[in-house]
Chain A
Amino acid sequence: MATTSSRARPAAGTAEARRSLLVAVMGGVALMAALDEIVFHQLLGWHHFYDRSTSQVALLSDGLLHAGELVLLVASGFGFAELRRRGALAARWAWAGLFLGLGGFQLFDAVVDHKVLRVHQVRYGVDLLPYDLAWSLGGVLLLGVGAVLALRARGGR
């Protein structure tokens, strides 16, 4: 835990770089979860509030995940503000973290929520395969962008 000599551009491995990455990952996860709720549950009505085929265990874990996402949204907001207040935000790491969080949640939602836990499906009354593929590929793409940004942040350029 070395102290930083230059505040302008915290290098990889410093506390500030790690904190910036962590706060942004939390923000990315929460933003994607919020987007999912607003666009697909509320606006499009593709996802259902309650799916009768969902098991009780899945419902409980879904409740906990949803509660965790809301807390992440607030936590990342205050964490971000705290880093900015003391001039310790590493912007490159934060961008990388944001995309890793967005993509990570998207992929998790596609695989765990929709397929493993079967909390709900992407859409009802249609052939699911193209939707599931698009959902997962979107997540992989965002993760890829995040990985590239993280590598560039580590390189310090």
Chain B
Amino acid sequence: MVAEAHAGRAAHAGHGAAGSLLGSAPGWVLVVLVVGALVLPYLVGVARVRARGRRWSPWRTAAWATGAVLVGAALAPPLAEAAHAGAQGHTAQHLVLGVYAPLALVLGSPVRLLLGAGSRAVRARVAAVLQAPLVRVVSFPAVAALLDTGGLYLLHLTPLHALSQREPLVHALVLAHFLLAGALYAWAVAGPDPAPRRPGTATRVGVLVLAAGAHGYLAKLLYGRAAELPPGAVGSTADREQAAVLLSYGGDVGELLLATALFGGWYRLRGRRTRRGSRGAGVAAPRPVG
């Protein structure tokens, strides 16, 4: 167990030898760097949007800051070490880094900020990136959900998990995948950002139910077969059973938050349409939302 925790600290995000020499200090330096790298450019962007006389909701800024702090918390030494010490810590880190932090970041509307704060050249480039075939494919909700939840299946049902516990580089890549795939999924399903060809509410709700159902099923599978999954895992079966319960309920909370963001967006959009159109025209032809 002790050796594992040490290996964990050393493995943490590639901060090899320094980690074991200086205790957790490098871990905290990394946290400060990551949070700073996320928050400072965002604040510069907000200042530029405001300087152009446009409004920027403080809630968006708060959401982005919350996301940045959650990313920092997931990488900070206490959680990083717990993630290496056992399955429950690992699951907690996964939930914070791959579910809660991405949603908070996405609610900060980073693309809208980039469009509002950037020069004409920047705006053109953002538009070009959003229109690029690859971006359009991976940001389709079903594909994003597959990358996110599929990655989780891959990690837990193949020897990838054991490999990531041994190899610091693989571990860093897995963490990066959690964050990026989680952000892509949240952006595609519930993001307030403008996106070309974002599918309608019904499609996104359907993808959310399928992905959350697959997530819940994986949690039950890991609980039922905790003695053998993930392949090559060390530690106790009881720990892995508790981790599966945490994955299940933590995933439920994530789904509720995503659904709230999704339907909150629907509610705002509908309010705008109702106000804009005449009463009759604006509210005609209601579509079922479920």
| B contact residues around A86 at 8 Å (CB) | 274, 279, 283
B224 cross-chain contacts in A, Cβ below 8 A: 50, 52, 59
* Chain B residue at minimal CB-CB distance from A81: B267
Contact with B along A1-30 (1 / 0, CB 8 A): 101000000000001000100100010000
Q: A72-B290, A81-B267 are in contact. Are A66 and B259 (CB under 8 A)?
A: no
Q: Are A75 and B259 interface neighbours, CB within 8 A? A: yes
The interface residues of chain A lying within 8 Å CB-to-CB of B155 are none
Among A22, A62, A70, A72, which residue has its beta carbon within 8 angstroms of that of B212?
A70
Given contacts A50-B220, A63-B213, A70-B255, contact A82 B205 (CB under 8 A): no
Complex interface residues of chain A between 35 and 92 (CB less than 8 A to chain B): 49-50, 52, 56, 59-60, 62-68, 70-75, 77-79, 81-82, 85-86, 88
A26 to B263 Cα, complex, angstroms: 14
Chain B residues near A73 (CB-CB < 8 A): 256, 259
Within 8 A of A (CB), among B259-289: 259-260, 262-264, 266-267, 270-271, 274, 279-280, 283-286, 288-289
Residues of B within 8 A of A (CB): 205, 208-217, 220-221, 223-224, 245, 248, 252, 255-256, 259-260, 262-264, 266-267, 270-271, 274, 279-280, 283-286, 288-290
Contact A74–B259 (Cβ < 8 Å)? yes
Q: Which residues of B lie under 8 Å from residue A59 when comparing CB positions?
A: 217, 220-221, 224
Beta-carbon contact of B271 and A85 below 8 Å: yes
Known: A63-B217, A67-B209, A74-B256. A3 touches B290 (CB 8 A): no
Contact (Cβ within 8 A) A67 B216: yes
16 A-B pairs with C-beta separation under 8 A: A3-B280, A15-B283, A15-B284, A63-B215, A63-B217, A64-B209, A64-B213, A64-B217, A66-B252, A67-B255, A68-B209, A71-B208, A71-B209, A74-B256, A75-B290, A82-B267
The answer on a CB contact under 8 Å between B288 and A22 is yes
B264 contacts A1, C-beta separation under 8 Å: no
Which size bracket describes the interface of A in this complex? 20 to 34
Contacting residues, chain A, for B213 (C-beta < 8 A): 60, 63-68
- Quote the shortest CB–CB distance from A7 to chain B (angstroms): 10
Which chain B positions have C-beta within 8 A of A78? 263-264, 266-267, 289
Give the complex CA separation of A82 and B270 in angstroms. Answer: 8
What's the least CB distance linking A99 to chain B, in Å? 18
Query: Are B217 and A60 within 8 A (Cβ)?
Result: yes
* Cα-based distance from A1 to B223 in the complex (angstroms): 50
B267, A50: Cβ atoms under 8 Å?
no
List A contacts of B280 (CB < 8 A): 3
Using A50-B223, A63-B214, A63-B217 as known contacts, say yes or no to A74 and B209 having CB atoms under 8 A apart: no
Residue of B nearest to A19 (CB): B286
Residues of B within 8 A of A79 (CB): 289
Taking a contact as CB atoms under 8 Å apart, the answer to whether B223 and A49 are in contact is yes
